[in-house]
Amino acid sequence: MKPFFKTNSGELYLGDSENLLQGSVGEKLKGKVNLIMTSPPFPLNQKKSYGNKTGETYKDWFVSLAPVFAELLAPDGSIVIEIGNAWESERPVQSLLPLRCLLDFAEHPDAGLRLCQESICYNPARLPSPAQWVTIDRVRMTDSYTHVWWLSKSDNPKADNRRALRPYSASMERLLKRQSYNAGKRPSEHVVSATGFLTDHGGSIAHNLFEIEPIHPGDEPRLPNAFRIANTGSSDAFSKACRREGITPHPARMPEGLVSFYTELLTEPGDLILDPFAGSCTTGSVAERLGRHWVGIEIQESFAQQARLRFEDAIAPTKKSAIK
């Protein structure tokens, strides 16, 4: 099967990901993918333009992907899935469906996966939802985060948190400058050594909380333990290109900062990244920028056409495949 388009580092296929990954595309990828980075359709009760299933149908579909994905992974590869919450239809009750999806996906007998870590992607600027229960009846809080699940076939997949450090806080910068701090025993009974925090590692180890925030000069993060991600969805080059072409962009794009973080944490230059629900190809564009090979699959041609805008300077006829 020929790609819908390709660049020097990657290729996007148009079609149903399940069929393609269990067919010719999957055969080429088998055992070679270092990272599957994706945000599949969420299990929402309201139908969206990008397509989504609900209830048990959604769970069965989602869980069936586990052995398909596992077969594509390199022995030390990882799967990272971003997924939102779900609510019971016409009830102010949060659905357990996403949690059941995680459990059955991770424990699928034919996949051999384990959950390495869960993270939270928090967006304080998210519109109040579910609207009926939050802004009308005023009986619930705004649903403002998505889950990020990192799974692998091994207890020790390729990973190095030194490649994805967050900037030091101002207080840590001052500590490194003066080379002293309050060492000794804490109320928690942990003992802080006198020299353990004096080495400048270029940044601090990321926490598993991501905060999507507009970035303004001098602005302090609301949550000091968050890994801060710029929310530039309406002003980035892709959005500007969509406005120029009179195109309505994909409504559920994954944050570029989230993709960048896991790309640097879990892969190295030259590695292969797959997004089986590519949408407007955020994963592919980040992979291209960071020197990784990539493969994307998108079922809707209108979104695949949008994706071209991310690679206007990179799309070229090339004899070199992203799949080595």
Query: Tell me: the pLDDT tens digits for 94-125?
Result: 999 999 999 999 999 999 999 999 999 998 88
Contacts of 311 (CB under 8 A, 6+ apart): 5, 7, 281, 284, 285, 288
Task: Report residues of the chain scoring pLDDT below 50.
Answer: 50, 221-224, 318-319
Output the pLDDT for position 173.
Answer: 92
Between CA 137 and CA 92 the distance in angstroms is: 10
For 256, half-sphere exposure in the C-beta direction (CA atoms, 13 angstrom radius) is 21
Residue with tokens 């994954």: 254
Q: What is the largest distance, in Å, between two alpha-carbon atoms of the chain?
A: 63
Output the pLDDT for position 298.
Answer: 95
Output the pLDDT for position 21.
Answer: 96
Output the pLDDT for position 38.
Answer: 95
Residue ranges and CATH numbers for the domains of the chain are 5-166+205-311 (3.40.50.150), 167-204 (no CATH)
Radius of gyration of the chain (CA): 21
For strand 272-275 and strand 293-298, is the pairing parallel, antiparallel, or unpaired? parallel
Between CA 41 and CA 308 the distance in angstroms is: 21
- Residues in a beta bridge with 80: 37, 150
Output the pLDDT for position 260.
Answer: 93
Output the pLDDT for position 252.
Answer: 59
Output the pLDDT for position 55.
Answer: 79
Q: Can you read off the two tokens belonging to residue 112? A: 């051999």
Output the pLDDT for position 50.
Answer: 45
- Residues 149/63, Cβ–Cβ less than 8 Å: no
Output the pLDDT for position 253.
Answer: 65
